[in-house]
Structures are given as C-alpha cells and as structure tokens.
Copies of this chain bind each other. A is one copy, B any other.
C-alpha cells in the first residue's frame, strides 16, 4: 500500500470512525451474536486475493461491528469503564502512522523520552512524590506480575542468578485478600510462588478491606515458622466492590519486615487525579510499587497501565537484557525501558497519554470523573431509598453493588431472580451490567463512568432496572 493509497483509505476510515462513534447509542450495548457467528463471516482458507480497503471497510461494518460489545455506549455499566477517548485514540493513530520500533533508546529516543515525560506528568497529577519513576505496561496483570518478580528477587537475594526458586530453602510467601483481582493470584502462580505459599488475609466483613491485625498475625506466625514473607499486594479499589485496603497500616508492617508492598490501583488510580480522593490510598508513599490503568476510568485508550517503582536499580537488575546487538555508546545516559518489563519491543504508547492530556486537558478529565462520582451517589441513593432494593457495599467511587430482594425471596431463588433480571437487560441490548458473586450470592455491579454516560442515562437505567426486576418477579 503506497502513502497515496493510504491517504485515500485513511480519510474514508476516519469518516467511518467519526460516524461510528457519533451513532454508537443506536447500537445494542451487548453484541447480539452467538458463539461462532462472527467466525462464520470469514472464509476458513486464507485469502489468495487482496480484497482492497473499500471492501474491508464494508466488511468492518457488516461482518465485525455486529460482534462488538459497545463499551463506549452510554448505557454500558459492565465490568469497569474502559473509556477510549477519541483524543487518546488519535495518539494511537499517530503511533500507528509513525511505525516506530521501541527496543532501546537508540531505536527511538522520542518514544523513551516522551514516556519519561508523561509518566512524570501523571505522577504529579496523582500527587505522588519525586521518589517514583514510572513506565507504561500493557495491563495491570502484567504490572502485578512484574512487581511480584521484583519482590521475589529482593526477598531471595537474586535467586535468579543461582538456582532460582528451585534453590529456595525458606519458602517465600505472598499475602493478599480474596477481594483482590484474579490477576494477583495468577501473577503469584506464574512467578512460581505456588498456591500453598499464598496467604489470603482476612477482610473486614462490611468493607472487604484487608484486616491489618490479621495480616500482622499471619506475618508473625509465618516468620516464626521459618518462612519469608516476600510481598503484600494491596487493593486500592478492588474490582468486585471497590474495596480499599488500608495502605498506611499495611505499610507499617511491610516496612518493619522488609516485605515488598505492591499497590494495585488498576481501577481507582484514576480517582487519584482528584485531590479529594487521595485519602483512599493514604500511606502509598511507603509502598514499593504502584500500578494503575489510565485505560480504565480516566479514558486513555487500552493498552495503558502505569507501573511506578521507587527502586529503579533493582527493577533493571531483575529485568535487564543486554546483548551486544542492542548496546550503544549512550547506555549509561539513557533509560532502556526494555529493562522495565517483559517485552523487548514496545509500541509508542506515550503518544496516547500525551494526546489525551493535550486535547481533552486535565481539567475536563477531572470534571468528568467528578460527574461520575455524583451520578453514582445519586444512583446509590435511589436504590437504597427504594423498598426491596439494597446497596450491598459502601460506594467509595463510581461502582454500586445492588440487589433486588422481594419479600420472602432467599437463597437459590434469590440468585435465580437476580440473574433473571440482569440477564434480561443484558440480552436486550438496552444496557449492560456485570452480575457478580458476593459472599456466595449473585449481585449486580453497576459501574458508572463511560465518557458518554450522563445523569439522564443513569436515570434511564434505574427505571429500566426496576421495570425488569418487577417483570421477572411476576413470573418467578
């Protein structure tokens, strides 16, 4: 494809995207397709002939878009806000157009240095001190795995240079709660710690925050038993019920015993752009690593997870690769982000943060986050004031966990009712929410915060929820 052909096809694609985003609200929220339906739109054999850009754009509309769950839709309240602001999308488009290669500073100095710049801007905007240095990872899962690898190597005094975890005499332990994101356990298992060396710390039954006295007891007992507490992963805004582990109190324990403290703020890191929310991670300066995802609520298009560490030398020592064909004469003067994570080759992801801040601006981003907090408070108020409806967990940010419990409905029958009304709404395409299990029973997470979601949309949702819950209760 020549630059001139690209110009023509690119203009057509930009127009299509602008129309698509403008008309999004007309589409069903959840994709209305069955398993295999999208796959069947395509030939099983690799095409021998090129189709051309015009045909592909038609296919994109007719064969692919029906298979997209519209997470940018204002009636999307599922999982978490996965905002892909058009400002940040433009930065991603610039990255695609440039076609850079990020394997070293030398292969693209601008990609390294703009990443330094925007990571430091975000550090300041979330109120972190100059002690932190950041980089962009793809997701919080990868950030957490990286943090646990750093913890493993610190606690084992660089076992990777000897027999690895296989030579470990005293078992290294990882502490977290059941409320932590599934990626925390996955990261601990992939890092080789083993299920038997994971400790689930007790939680406060109301807030599902980590119980610090339980952590202290576990750690003391484990040390006495000859184990080595290696890492605590604390949640700042869990996925389930937006639980906030008490960072300052946890940090007092980790500091005392030299345990690595990783703060997983994947979802709630966006809230730290608001000074009035920062009490929620009070004590964070005493952590060893922090990860949060601008690609969630803040709205920088996926993939964009920020990982901050205090001890950069340790990071580089654990993650470094330095073959001769990657060396250059300036290695001592520059950052080599390949030594800050797993992949060697990296895209120019700093551009989307730069575009997002440069076009939308931090003031409008903050105003939108505050709007969402208001909407969540309003919605929670409506639910809790209405008979037979409950808000099941403290509403710390923009997620509201709810249940409809008609009189006399309990146990499995209640579960069936909950799934019936939420699935009816999800299947209709009118709105989408995530059913989720809390203390063994199904409830519904209403995660407010899509860029396009206004108060009117939340009002519409509340009416819709009540109507559907009544409908299914009538036939229960």
Contact = CB atoms under 8 A, between A and B. Distances in A.
A97 B17 contact: yes
Interface residues of A, number: 162
B109 A21 contact: no
Most buried by B among A18, A121, A125: A18
B194 A60 contact: no
Contact of A96 (B10, B89, B181): B89
A165 B190 contact: no
Given A21-B6, A35-B333, A171-B166, A89 B82 contact: no
Contacts of A324: 435-437
Contacts of A142: 342-343
A164 interface: yes
Interface string A50-89: 1111011000100011111101100000110011111101
A69 B106 contact: yes
Most buried by B among A49, A141, A343: A343
A421 interface: no
B190 A166 contact: no
A202 interface: no
Interface in A335-354: 342-347, 351, 354
A420 to B, nearest CB: 12
A248 interface: no
Interface stretch (A255-263, A360-368, A384-392): A360-368
A164 B182 contact: no
A464 interface: no
Interface stretch (A39-47, A210-218, A453-461, A467-475): A39-47
Contacts of A129: none
B163 A166 contact: no
A174 B33 CA distance: 44
Contact of A52 (B35, B44, B117, B358): B358
Contacts of A277: none
A94 interface: yes
Interface in A15-31: 15-22, 30-31
A302 interface: yes
Interface stretch (A154-162, A279-287, A307-315, A375-383): A154-162
7 contacts: A3-B17, A38-B109, A68-B100, A69-B108, A93-B96, A160-B190, A166-B192
Nearest 3 Cβ contacts at the A-B interface: A164-B194, A84-B99, A67-B110
Given A39-B117, A166-B168, 16 more contacts: A3-B17, A11-B14, A35-B333, A36-B113, A42-B114, A46-B357, A47-B121, A50-B363, A56-B358, A163-B171, A164-B165, A164-B192, A183-B321, A190-B191, A303-B343, A303-B346
